[in-house]
Structure 1
Amino acid sequence: MLVNMNDILLPAKKGHYGVGFFNAVDEEMARAIIDTAAELSSPVMIGTAEVLLTTTELDQVADYLIPMAKAASVPVAVHYDHGLTFDRCMQALKLGFSSVMYDCSTKPYEENIEAVAEMVKICHAMGVTVEGELGHVGDNEGAGKLAKPSDYFTDPDKAVDYVKRTGIDSLAIAVGNAHGDYKFPPKLDFDRISVISERTDLPLVLHGGSGLADDDFREAVKRGICKINIFTDLDKAGKEGAKKGLDAGAATMSGLIPYEIDAMKAVVSEKMHLFGSVGKA
């Protein structure tokens, strides 16, 4: 069933478990995610991000995700992640996405608040939930890499003010996490997660989940993380599944699909068990 983010994350916060958000840039990824959620009776969030629209356009993603979410036997929130522009977020709303992240984290603080507060008013009027980001989660490589990530960690005092003035439904925080492959084991600031969780009383979001140690996930969820974003691990699993299919003699694209889906389902299952969402639907 198609639901919004609050329908999934508020019970997660109350129940002290985490829920995975998985990007799905094609139908095979979506099948792997939603089928696994149904098999494990787990709520799930699924969608795409603005940086991934070079792979599959937003309207095409909506064409397969929205019907699949509506038909699912478990709660599924269709989320537009890291929306960088107002127009793209509006497009996601019109296409039927039930949740939006408006990422204004690189803007000056007051501009971030003003822009996200406006988005919240629009989305809430349509029954759509909004995720904001305070601090900045950089990349492990490329143009978004931060020279000193700790300079961009989320300030707990500002987090309280930000949540109050924007009216967001969940808050993405920067606590040592980063997007993409980790070159070295990250060191998350768990105490900072606890403080922000206690002071904002809001579901917190951890971006850059692929590559973190299992114990990091468990501790982060224990401290107040309710939504964990996963893409790189899933993307790499699909590739490994295709390689396995080729090695097994699959000679066509359609012949590779079952291998890709099985490999991605294994990753989704692993994360759902790790986050504690199994049986929570």
Structure 2
Amino acid sequence: MKSVHFGLLIYAFLILNCVSGNQDINRLNGKESKNCKSGFGLYVFIYGKSLYPDRFLNVKEDKGSREIVYLFYLIRIPGKNILIDSGFSDGFYRKKFGFSNFEKPDQLLKRCGIDPKEITDIVLTHFHFDHSGGIFLFPSATLHIQNHDLDLLKKQSYFPNQATYIRSLSETNRLHSFDGTYSLLPGLQILFTGGHTPGSQAVEWIVSSKGQFLFTGDECYFIEECKNGIGLPKEATFSLRRNRDFIEYVRVLSDKGTKILTLHDPAILQEGEDIATGVRLLYSF
């Protein structure tokens, strides 16, 4: 697999991004939103909670376990409805991990006015069940995934007839697997990270000087710890070195004003504006 050298990414970012990012990107520019179709922007969906062992988290001190939330994101731009991860729906995993406040991802989207068939793309940060187990809920979406994690996803059974569904994606040209970094759209780049899993990836989205975001996947769980250089423990990594390279990239982008967003930090529930139960608007334009 072609690896990204994060030192080069950091250098490029410092050269190309001279605008200070100190503006508060959580302000919603005076716009009001009643549902996800009333404007373009970034939405976060909270589909459950559970306790999770500290030994797998990027935390300062192992206290046994703590609560994490389970999130996915919607980037809504003209002509595109892009999900960052898909959540899941299988009852087996809900019971195994002791989920509370669980809601199916497609129902959350419907609640804010988005038909699941309107999702055009899903970027999977990695193959684990809570990130990829809901892909079948969005039957029109093209899936974007690193080759190594696609190979691992094919070996799982996160939902009924999963192998058949993945084959159907390929047969209908809706499966985009690749190695390394890929520019999905102008300003929206998928970055190979390869720390948490062999094919882990992050997403960097630059809307404007006031709207710059980095979606970390599970290279880190808690935002402040991530920004302060605390990476994953060895038990939670495929490559500790790649995870640490990415954590340094997070630090540089955060210092320049990029908003860091993970998929499990309860602090995100305090960001932005409530749209509906389980749905928050983080940024609009």
TM range (shorter): 0.3 to 0.5
Q: TM-score, normalised by structure 1?
A: 0.34
The structure whose residues are more often strand, as a share, is 2
The structure whose residues are more often helix, as a share, is 1
Q: TM-score, normalised by structure 2?
A: 0.33
